[in-house]
Amino acid sequence: MIFVVLVLQLLLCSFAETKPKLTQDEFFNYVDYPTVSVSPTGEYLFYEEMRPSWETNSFVRKLWLYDIRQQQKRLITADSTDFFFPMWSPSGKWITFFVNNHLMANTSRRSLERSETADQYMYFYSVSTNKIIPVQIQNIQPSVATWSNSDTVLYIVGPGLSSREEDDAYRKEWKDVINYRQTKPGEGSTIYEIKIDTTDSLISAELSIVYNASLLINELLYVSYEEQLVFTSKSRVYEDLDNFEIYSIHLNQPSSSFLRLTSLEGIEQNLQLSNDGKHILFRLWALSSGRIQTTQRRLYSLDLITLQIGRLGANFNGVITEFTIKPDGGVYFIGQLGLNVQVYTQESLTDDVMYRQGWNGTYERFSSPSNRTGGPIAFAFSSLERPKEIYLAESIDRLGFAKTITDENRLFTQRDLPHATAYHWRNTEDNREIEGILHYPPGKLTEKNLPLLVLIHGGPNAASVNELQATWNWATMAATEGWLVLEPNYRGSTGYGDEFLDELRHRLLSLPGQDILMGVDQLIKDGIADSQRLAVGGYSYGGFLTNWLITQTTRFNAALSGAGGAEHASGWGTMDLPVLLSYLHGGFPWQVPNVYSSESPIYHMSKVRTPTHIVVGENDVRVDADQSFILERCLHYLGVPVQLLILPKEGHAIANYPWSGRIKVREELKWLHQYGNQTLPKESAANIISFSFTLLSLVICTFCFSFQN
Ligand SMILES: *[C@@H]1O[C@H](CO)[C@@H](O)[C@H](O)[C@H]1NC(C)=O
Ligand SMILES: *[C@@H]1O[C@H](CO)[C@@H](O)[C@H](O)[C@H]1NC(C)=O
Ligand SMILES: *[C@@H]1O[C@H](CO)[C@@H](O)[C@H](O)[C@H]1NC(C)=O
Ligand SMILES: *[C@@H]1O[C@H](CO)[C@@H](O)[C@H](O)[C@H]1NC(C)=O
Ligand SMILES: *[C@@H]1O[C@H](CO)[C@@H](O)[C@H](O)[C@H]1NC(C)=O
């Protein structure tokens, strides 16, 4: 009997070992699917596939058409670095898209028309003939586009216009001097109407200006009720929330000025028209200038007749990440609650939210036909142990039976991925339960005393969720390399209610910092993590917290700081999102100077001993690179090992060049390897004592050893 068990175990072991571990090369070749869209009638869908090209240091995209009935796909076009707004025309006969000519990578098999001039094109792909027809749209580089309700009229938004005389006068006065707050000629947006004339092989377009707007237009939506265009406004920086509202203009009286429809503290986004055509649905990111409490992103419905606003998903305790109009009324929405991001429906403002049974993991890019009830539905899905692919389900009731239609990340299913579980602990000060994800190195699920990396998500209004990410966000890779990885959903994270989100106010780093340290304590108490081999890291708000934590304790052997903050008053002064920082502090720097200084890592630097690796994008406007330079200089003078990497031409998202994220992770892993995984003597008395004990026992052992000999 014992023999049989042994043989079985051996077999099981060898079976488990047939799956090799993921390599860094493989990890970074993960494929993403930036768009998925089902046709109006539900017969087809198109999707984009995006993968890194290491030779050209760019991300290249392909656009695919999938025939749902025939279960066949065909390539629409390949090798573009960007498709702008691939959209179904209202009839579903065409897929239209724009390509940034200047960005276009070298074309190969099915090349698009390329132009040496600044002329811009809109492309019409015919589903029936499988041909792409380019249509010139002068030199307008659209920032957003929306179809009317027929295939004959489309609206696009381009940069504002200015006359030659205005430009010349401005240049004459200012030369190259930047007058920061003064609006330059042509700084607004222009809305164009494009009239399309199609025969099967020939398409012509006639452009005319509908409106010259002095404000910047972010999103645009055609509404046939009273022939209007509804749009959101934006600003380059988030200083005044009044700059972010919803407006409309009536197309039959374009000379009249636009109408402001909302007055909400926050950012309105994802405008969509309800199926009755008389409500605008949108998500609100409730940033606050201090008068109201910030909340998780919510879903609202704006009545175009009464201008009343109602909240959808009101009883849903998490964050609404996206939504789609149901053709028979109501909405599908995707919401994050705890570690999962799943599908819900609601029939009307007064109906209950219904959870739709699917899989644990993360749903995104949810799409359904706009003009056919029932289905099919398409979406992208991944979980920590299942790579992202696109799935198709016959209807919402068949969500759990959806089938993949892509297979680009199959390799990840053939690798020994880390095993991940939920982990819970309490902040014993206020007894709040905190949740996190624990990633075990492959094959080490039952092992004790593992070296621990705490990897902290950004935001703070975001969360680590049950999703396989393979970017510079790299918990899976760190665990593959032997680290137990804890991703804590500290105070301020989404998915745990609005109170949880708001509790870090006035204690923006100290409270979440405490949540995190208590999680580390719990892991050590549970015997899972080795108290002598701890490391910490994070990006953006996770970088802020990393910088904070190394000032609070010397227990971490290594730190990985990405786009973090060091001094909050200067951070507030340079970032594009000052409303968030002043909200979290409870005022401007001159109103609550003590909060700004007591929560700023720079004023606690004398305690830092942790070797720290720092990364920041050269053009980061969210957390200015200055913050990383400040941190680096402090550590340099303190004699703490430090390395600062500046990623050229990258912004906060590190999304422009694949090598940037890859080099970041490569170097961070090296840093962990060099400093994180070793028992170092530390300067606290306790450590000196334990060090002496170690010495003593060494002496004794040596003695024993010689004695035995
Ligand atoms: C949507 O479907 C209805 C009825 O099936 C049809 O009358 C209408 O023209 C369709 N709309 C579009 C934009 O295809
Ligand atoms: C495209 O490829 C051709 C030939 O391979 C090469 O000569 C040209 O420089 C490339 N253009 C760009 C923009 O990479
Ligand atoms: C918009 O501005 C341009 C350039 O100044 C001008 O030619 C055009 O007539 C204006 N159009 C409208 C509709 O105001
Ligand atoms: C899915 O997650 C929930 C909690 O988030 C858990 O209770 C449930 O057991 C999980 N189901 C599966 C099949 O893992
Ligand atoms: C840490 O070091 C030990 C040897 O001291 C080694 O066995 C282990 O693989 C290392 N772990 C990591 C994550 O580097």
Atom of ligand 1 nearest to the CA of 41: 14
**What does DSSP say about strands 189-198 and 216-223: parallel, antiparallel, or unpaired?**
unpaired
Mean predicted confidence (pLDDT) in 394-415 = 97
Q: Rounded CA gap, 436 and 486, in Å?
A: 7
3-state secondary structure of 123: strand
Atom of ligand 4 nearest to the CA of 339: 5
Tokens read off for 514: 């405490």
Confidence of residue 18 (pLDDT cuts 50, 70, 90): confident
pLDDT of residue 118: 66
Strand (E) positions, 408-550? 419-427, 432-440, 450-456, 484-489, 529-539
Cα 264 to averaged position of ligand 3 atoms, centre (Å): 31
Confidence of residue 330 (pLDDT cuts 50, 70, 90): very high
- For residue 423, CA distances in Å to 336, 338, 487, 542 come to 17, 11, 9, 19
CB 488 within 8 A of CB 454: yes
Cα 345 to averaged position of ligand 1 atoms, centre (Å): 23
Inform me whether the pLDDT recorded for 200 exceeds 70. Answer: no
Superfamily of domain 416-678: Alpha/Beta hydrolase fold, catalytic domain (3.40.50.1820)
Cα 162 to averaged position of ligand 3 atoms, centre (Å): 9
Comparison of pLDDT for 262 and 198, the residue scoring more:
262
pLDDT of residue 8: 45
pLDDT of residue 199: 76
Confidence of residue 112 (pLDDT cuts 50, 70, 90): very low
pLDDT digits (tens, 9 = 90+) for 471-481: 878 999 999 99
Inform me whether the pLDDT recorded for 422 exceeds 60. Answer: yes
Q: Which stretch of DSSP H or E encloses residue 62?
A: strand 58-67
| CA of 88, nearest ligand number | 1
pLDDT digits (tens, 9 = 90+) for 581-609: 999 999 999 999 999 999 999 999 999 99
pLDDT of residue 103: 42
Q: Which of 25-34, 56-65, 72-81, 645-654 has the lowest mean pLDDT?
A: 72-81
Mean predicted confidence (pLDDT) in 158-169 = 91
Longest dimension (CA), the chain: 102
Atom of ligand 4 nearest to the CA of 340: 5
Q: What are phi and psi of 578, to 5 degrees?
A: -65, -25
Query: Above pLDDT 90, what percent of the chain?
Result: 79
Query: Above pLDDT 70, what percent of the chain?
Result: 90
User: What average pLDDT is seen over the chain?
Assistant: 90
Inform me whether the pLDDT recorded for 13 exceeds 50. Answer: no
pLDDT of residue 16: 52
Confidence of residue 83 (pLDDT cuts 50, 70, 90): confident
Mean predicted confidence (pLDDT) in 402-410 = 98
Q: What are phi and psi of 42, to 5 degrees?
A: 80, 10
Inform me whether the pLDDT recorded for 56 exceeds 50. Answer: yes
Inform me whether the pLDDT recorded for 517 exceeds 50. Answer: yes
User: Crossing angle, helix 510-525 and helix 541-552, to 10 degrees?
Assistant: 70
Confidence of residue 116 (pLDDT cuts 50, 70, 90): very low
Mean predicted confidence (pLDDT) in 442-466 = 96
Q: Is the CB of 166 under 6 A from ligand 3?
A: no
Cα 69 to averaged position of ligand 1 atoms, centre (Å): 20
Q: Rounded CA gap, 507 and 495, in Å?
A: 20
pLDDT digits (tens, 9 = 90+) for 522-557: 999 999 999 999 999 999 999 999 999 999 999 999
Inform me whether the pLDDT recorded for 114 exceeds 70. Answer: no
| CA of 358, nearest ligand number | 4
Cα 107 to averaged position of ligand 2 atoms, centre (Å): 9
Confidence of residue 3 (pLDDT cuts 50, 70, 90): very low
Which amino acid residue places its CA nearest to atom 6 of ligand 3? Answer: 161
Q: Which of 113-127, 166-180, 314-328, 610-624 has the lowest mean pLDDT?
A: 113-127
pLDDT of residue 85: 87
Q: Which of 6-10, 185-189, 426-430, 561-565 has the lowest mean pLDDT?
A: 6-10
For 595-633, give the DSSP string.
HHHHT-GGGGGGG----EEEEEETT-SSS-HHHHHHHHH
- For residue 329, CA distances in Å to 196, 277, 374, 403 come to 30, 10, 11, 26
Residues having CB closer than 6 A to ligand 5 are 451, 481-483, 673, 677
Cα 371 to averaged position of ligand 1 atoms, centre (Å): 6
Mean predicted confidence (pLDDT) in 557-568 = 98
| CA of 384, nearest ligand number | 4
Which amino acid residue places its CA nearest to atom 14 of ligand 4? Answer: 360
Comparison of pLDDT for 686 and 145, the residue scoring more:
145
Q: Domain residue spans in the chain?
A: 2-21+684-708, 416-678
Mean predicted confidence (pLDDT) in 314-332 = 95
Residue 375: how many other CB atoms lie within 10 Å: 19
| CA of 442, nearest ligand number | 5
pLDDT digits (tens, 9 = 90+) for 207-263: 999 999 999 999 999 999 999 999 999 998 999 999 999 999 999 886 778 899 999
Inform me whether the pLDDT recorded for 108 exceeds 80. Answer: no
| CA of 558, nearest ligand number | 5
Comparison of pLDDT for 79 and 650, the residue scoring more:
650
Cα 677 to averaged position of ligand 5 atoms, centre (Å): 6
pLDDT of residue 36: 98
pLDDT of residue 5: 44
Q: Considering the entire predicted model, what is its pTM?
A: 0.90
Which amino acid residue places its CA nearest to atom 14 of ligand 1? Answer: 91
Comparison of pLDDT for 257 and 154, the residue scoring more:
154
Mean predicted confidence (pLDDT) in 291-298 = 90
Atom of ligand 4 nearest to the CA of 337: 5
pLDDT of residue 680: 60
Ordered strands of the 203-213 beta sheet: 144-147, 153-159, 189-198, 203-213
pLDDT of residue 291: 79
Residues having CB closer than 6 A to ligand 1 are 40, 90-91, 371
pLDDT digits (tens, 9 = 90+) for 645-699: 999 999 999 999 999 999 999 999 999 999 999 876 555 434 444 444 444 444 4
Inform me whether the pLDDT recorded for 156 exceeds 80. Answer: yes
Given ligand 3 and candidates 139, 157, 161, which is best to mutate, with the most ligand atoms within 8 Å of its CB? Answer: 161
pLDDT of residue 254: 67
